[in-house]
Amino acid sequence: MNLQMLFKELQLNADSPGSSDGATWIPTPNNSSISSINPATGQALGKIQTTNNETYEKIIVQSQKAFLSWREVPAPKRALLIRELSELLRQHKTALSTLVSLEMGKSLQEGLGEVQEMIDMADFAIGQARMLYGLSMHSERERHRMLEQWHPLGIVGVISAFNFPVAVWAWNAFLAVICGNTVIWKPSAKTPFCAVAVQQLCLEASRRCQIQHIFSLIVSDEIAFAENFVDDSRIPLISFTGSTPIGRMVGTRVQNRFGKVILELGGNNAIIVDETANLKLAIPAIVFGAMGTAGQRCTTTRRLFLHKNIAQTVCDNLIAAYQQIRIGDPLDPSHLMGPLIDQNAVDQFEQAILIAQQAGGQILFGGKKITQPGFYVEPTLIRAKNEWEIVQKETFAPILYIMEFDHIEEAIAQQNAVPQGLSAAIFTQTLAHSELFLSATGSDCGIANVNIGTSGAEIGGAFGGEKETGGGREAGSDAWKLYMRRQTCTINWSNQLLLAQGIQFNYS
């Protein structure tokens, strides 16, 4: 599909408005605009008009107003909007996936996977709309009934990262909307076309359902603009996905105004391979985990702990696998790895390699940028030590640090000995090792896998991590509760006023 056909199918222009109130687009031609860059070539795909303060005000007022009636629509009926959207996503899956690859740089297979994740999330949310269950409790007082119910919050603000330019929004938006909220999305300024394309589908789905102002979009690359959004007390919940330093600041600011916040931040994920592991499972899982999306997943495998008896064999296998990986244009199906997002990411990669080498790291494979148009680097394997400062950090690039261990307890302790707590995995055929890893004294991460790598979660489970990963949970399980407020209700259907704990308060 050429660019012209792609833009036509997704109704994009080379100079597209980036602001929408969920009923229409609001052009801001005299405002500044941002260029969207294809990381495979370094060339601009087009421009997006950014949102100014006046347009932002209009959008937020419309969104607030729409919430007042949307919250009264029964949840299963709200789900009809998501059903329309899921139909449109199915219809335009190839085009949207191609745009994700083009603008973000992940392989088309991974682009297709990302849009499939949106579709899965839509199906999940449609079912969830009939299951916003509250509990009922037995009151300690006669002829009293206690129950717990869930109500919508209002506007949910979604701030998303560049590396999952459409799926992260879907995790949040679909649950938020079936829960009775409206959504305002501020995507990454590095992937604005993906957001505009999704918003086109939202507008079409809204038209079909004769509903307005549920999904809104704002685009900006200005820090002050993003911070105003975070500080806006008209937004009861901010769901932020991005780096730990920015997430720390966002979390503090939102909590300072007593807003709710969901934080999905950086990871520093590790795989343990013990002496009994099935290497036919472990090797491809490590390769995909470390270099999939060019190492730009929050769940990317960044650290590898190998039992000393199999360490050499695993390293030899990894080097052989790395030699076979073809790198280049992500839209060419023979390429399994595409570019990094921009020059800054290439610089960070080179700096990390230098620091690791200065610390004594031994490069087993890669380590260099690739000199060609676009932002390409070599996937890299480095023998390292877990305690090195550079290993403790998330560098958003395909660098895998390799360490050895003698005992499983030592490997688990090392795996946990980083500030982040997103995803961890063990490859083993030993039941006791697997159980230890999953026990309370095992992995401290939000996601812990056995004989499966660290990346590529299904939407059915709650996704998120501990420690500096922020503690948020999104997608499946009971993550919907974060988009609602809980209300505990006690109903007295007796003729007496009985006080809890048997307190007597007789004043006559």
Binding site for ligand NAD (CB under 6 A): 159-164, 168, 186, 188-189, 223, 226-227, 230, 241-243, 246, 250, 264-267, 298, 394, 396, 422, 465, 469
Please write down the HEC assignment for all residues of 42-74: CEEEEEEECCCHHHHHHHHHHHHHHHHHHCCCC
Give whichever of 309 and 343 is closer to ligand NAD, judged by the CB atom: 343
- Shortest distance, CB of residue 489 to ligand NAD, whole angstroms? 34
Rounded Cα distance, 337 and 214, in Å: 37
Catalytic residue among 264, 378, 404, 468: 264
Q: Is 350 a catalytic residue?
A: no
Give whichever of 86 and 241 is closer to ligand NAD, judged by the CB atom: 241
Distances (CA, A) of 363 to 139, 301, 316: 65, 17, 13
Query: Up-side HSE of residue 363: CA atoms within 13 Å toward CB?
Result: 16
- Shortest distance, CB of residue 264 to ligand NAD, whole angstroms? 3
Q: Is 298 a catalytic residue?
A: yes
- Shortest distance, CB of residue 132 to ligand NAD, whole angstroms? 23
- Shortest distance, CB of residue 67 to ligand NAD, whole angstroms? 22
Distances (CA, A) of 456 to 111, 286, 301, 421: 13, 12, 11, 16
End-to-end CA distance of the chain: 84
Task: Give the burial class of 476: count Cβ atoms within 10 A of its Cβ; 0-12 exposed, 13-18 middle, 19 or more buried.
Answer: buried
Give whichever of 221 and 350 is closer to ligand NAD, judged by the CB atom: 221
Tell which residue, 329, 302, 335, 253, has the closest CA to residue 423.
302
- Shortest distance, CB of residue 305 to ligand NAD, whole angstroms? 20
Q: What is the DSSP letter of 385?
A: -
Give whichever of 124 and 405 is closer to ligand NAD, judged by the CB atom: 124
Catalytic residue among 298, 315, 404, 468: 298
- Structural contact between residues 36 and 68, judged by C-beta atoms closer than 8 angstroms: no
- Structural contact between residues 243 and 422, judged by C-beta atoms closer than 8 angstroms: no
Tell which residue, 191, 197, 190, 184, has the closest CA to residue 158.
184
Give catalytic residues, as residue numbers: 264, 298
